[in-house]
Amino acid sequence: MAEEQSGAPHQDEAAAKQNIIPGVKHVVAISSGKGGVGKSTVSVNLAVALALTGAKVGLLDADIYGPNIPMMMGVEKPPEQKDGKIAPAESHGVKLISMGFFVPEDTAVVWRGPMVHTAIQQLFRDVLWGELDYLLIDLPPGTGDAQLTLTQLVPLSGAVTVTTPQEVALHDVRKGMMMFQKVNVPLLGIVENMSFFVCGHCGERTEIFSHGGGERAAEKLGIPFLGRVPIDPVIRAGGDTGNPIVVAKPESPQAQAFREIAAKLAAALQTGGVSATKSRIESLLDKIKRPATGR
């Protein structure tokens, strides 16, 4: 089934993608090979950082089973309906939508693939996104139904992978990269989250989760390394209170890290560097696949 998804889309599928969100210039998936790496934290802060540059930004929470974006963006009031459509909520200059607005907080979402597909489709078709420079999609971890649905519905400008520094990061990044490559989505780069910890008392730097796994993965796979984000209680507090660190403490090194990553992402999208990245990925994937095909 996965192989059927590979290759270039048919013309009618491409046309459907072009019509579903015509006012959006760049659609970027924020992904991770596994949970617990801070992908939603990165999504929120990158979205706000891009908005602070004057760009029109949207954030779609496609993590159907664990929608945390409303809390992390400090939005409690659900979106309003307008002419049979949904007007997205707005916070910190970002338009956002999430299943978290429509499912009670203490209710578990137990859905099969077709229901996930329908829900994500409605978050695109039934929401008044308007004109946007960037629409960031916070995906669930792994390579499941939500990822395939997204690639079928909209033309993705590319995907960003969030990881932590451990050596195991290379394995997780590779799996996610191969999934996006199969459906012709270029990878824009890797973000290494929880990269290090700086003691607030003595200033000593500690690499809690090892060092450099994300950068080594990017180098080995031939994709851009977008930057490191330290692990810090202030970042966690910003997510819990709905006040992302890029606005809560804009002059902090942590906020600066997010702004620099956002600038690199914007530059890659605007200068057309995506196609070159895609060709490098395809070349490396051929090398990765050779041992498997030789069995």
Binding-site residue numbers for ATP are 33-40
Question: What is the spatial distance between Cα 101 and Cα 32, in angstroms, rounded to a whole number?
Answer: 23
Helix, strand, coil percent content, the chain, rounded in steps of 5: 45, 20, 35
In order of 32, 50, 134, 292, the CA distances from 54 in angstroms are 27, 7, 11, 47
Distance between the two ends of the chain, CA-based, in angstroms? 21
Binding-site annotation: residue ranges: 33-40
Kindly report the number of other CB atoms within 10 A of residue 119's CB atom. 18
DSSP conformation letters of 75-86: --SPPEEETTEE
DSSP classification of residue 242? T
Question: What is the spatial distance between Cα 295 and Cα 292, in angstroms, rounded to a whole number?
Answer: 6
Q: Which helix (H) or strand (E) holds 20?
A: helix 11-20
**Cβ atoms of residues 96 and 70 within 8 Å:** yes
